[in-house]
Every structure is written in structure tokens, then in C-alpha cells.
């Protein structure tokens, strides 16, 4: 069993957790999320905390599901209380982004601007050259940020493209600099 799975998930005030038919529903101030519990995994509420355990301890194949279930429930509780956000940075001459309604429009050197529709529960905001994707579902926020980054990933020579704010781009030396260094 994973050490993380043994640790209980605390439920803060203002968050309601409902169990019905192997589905955990978490309601909070920022929204609602649900997750289907894998078969063989049991989730119990004890004194304001959620404890994840196996129904049948002899079944070793279900042990990886414990850590997953605990992490998903923990992310759901964090999402409905604080929310999640990913920030992306545009770097390049003429690269721009703007929000129109719920849609994000990005101009990154193509012959046309790229439009991205916001999934339900996601919000886009743009400040200067930084795009912020925020929402209650960590998985959805991360997938949307990855989709935006994949439109124009940063290139290794000048670093132009869309990158995560804290991401370090591994740079390559150009042909001219390489030729001068090998005399």
C-alpha cells in the first residue's frame, strides 16, 4: 500500500462530501466535482476526514488504486475550495493572446489566429503576455494548458513559443556559434 494512501484527506468547512453508488461527489464554494471509486476500494468519512482502504486486503492488484483514489479526492477537495491555475507565457515578436467571451484567441505566427473554446468549468484570462487557465478540476486545467502549449511549443534556438511560466527551455547553440567554437 502506498504511504500516501494511508494519510487521511481532511474536509474543510464549507465542503460537503456525498457518497452514492461508488461515486464521490464533492460540493464547495467554487463548484462541484464527482469521481467514480474503483471497485474493491472503500472510502469512509471519519471525524471530518476521508480514509481510503481496500475492501479485500488480500487482493494485491488493487493497491495502486488506493493512491490514485486518495489523490483524486484530495485534488477535488482542493479544487472546490481554492481552485487550480496554470500560467503560460508567450514569447516571440508579434505573439498575442486575447479573451473574447469564453474563448481564447491566440496569434502565434500562423496565417490565421487560433481559437480555443473554454471547456465548462474553465476560465481564461490574459495579462500582457501571460495566459492563465483556471478552474476547479486539476485534470481539466492541466489538459487545457497542455493543449494551448502544443499550438506553438518553444523552439530550442531562440525560445520563441508558448511555455509554462516556470519552465526552463533547453537551448541549443546555432550553426555560426558552433563553427566558431571548433577552430
Q: So what's the pLDDT on residue 177?
A: 66
User: Binning pLDDT at 50, 70 and 90, where does residue 60 land?
Assistant: confident
Bigger pLDDT: 176 vs 182: 176
Q: What whole-number distance in Å separates Cα of residue 53 and Cα of residue 130?
A: 42
User: Binning pLDDT at 50, 70 and 90, where does residue 181 land?
Assistant: low
Cα–Cα–Cα angle for 51, 56, 62, rounded to 5 degrees: 75
Q: So what's the pLDDT on residue 35?
A: 92
At 102 the three-state DSSP class reads coil
**β partners of residue 163:** 89
What is the per-residue pLDDT across 88-124, written as a single tens digit (0 to 9) for each?
A: 999 989 999 999 999 999 999 999 999 999 999 899 9
What domains does the chain contain, in order, with CATH numbers? Answer: 9-82 (3.90.930.12), 84-164 (3.90.930.12)
User: How confident is the model over 54-77, as a mean pLDDT?
Assistant: 86
Q: So what's the pLDDT on residue 182?
A: 57
Tell me whether residue 73 is exposed, middle or buried, using C-beta atoms within 10 angstroms of its C-beta: 0 to 12, 13 to 18, 19 or more: buried
At 92 the three-state DSSP class reads coil
Distances (CA, A) of 106 to 41, 52, 63, 122, 123: 43, 43, 43, 17, 15
**Is the pLDDT reported for residue 145 higher than 90?**
yes
Share of the chain above pLDDT 70, in %: 96
Q: So what's the pLDDT on residue 44?
A: 87
Q: What is the pTM of this model?
A: 0.86
Identify which of 11, 19, 5, 21 has the alpha carbon closest to the alpha carbon of residue 57: 5
Amino acid at each position: 500500500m502506498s504511504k500516501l494512501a494511508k494519510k487521511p484527506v481532511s474536509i474543510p468547512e464549507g465542503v460537503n462530501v456525498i457518497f452514492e453508488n461508488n461515486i464521490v461527489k464533492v460540493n464547495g464554494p467554487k463548484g462541484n466535482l464527482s469521481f467514480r471509486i474503483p471497485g474493491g476500494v472503500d472510502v469512509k468519512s471519519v471525524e471530518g476526514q476521508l480514509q481510503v482502504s481496500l475492501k479485500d486486503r488480500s487482493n494485491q492488484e488493487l493497491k495502486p488504486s488506493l493512491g490514485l483514489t486518495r489523490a483524486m479526492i484530495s485534488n477535488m477537495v482542493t479544487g472546490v475550495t481554492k481552485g487550480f491555475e496554470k500560467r503560460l507565457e508567450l514569447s516571440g515578436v508579434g505573439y498575442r493572446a486575447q479573451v473574447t467571451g469564453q474563448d481564447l484567441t491566440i496569434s502565434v505566427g500562423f496565417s490565421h489566429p487560433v481559437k480555443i473554446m473554454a471547456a465548462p468549468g474553465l476560465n481564461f484570462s490574459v495579462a500582457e503576455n501571460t495566459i492563465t487557465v483556471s478552474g476547479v478540476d486539476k485534470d481539466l486545467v492541466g489538459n487545457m494548458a497542455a493543449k494551448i502549449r502544443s499550438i506553438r511549443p518553444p523552439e530550442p534556438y531562440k525560445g520563441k513559443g508558448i511555455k509554462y511560466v516556470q519552465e526552463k527551455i533547453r537551448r541549443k547553440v546555432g550553426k555560426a556559434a558552433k563553427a566558431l567554437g571548433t577552430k
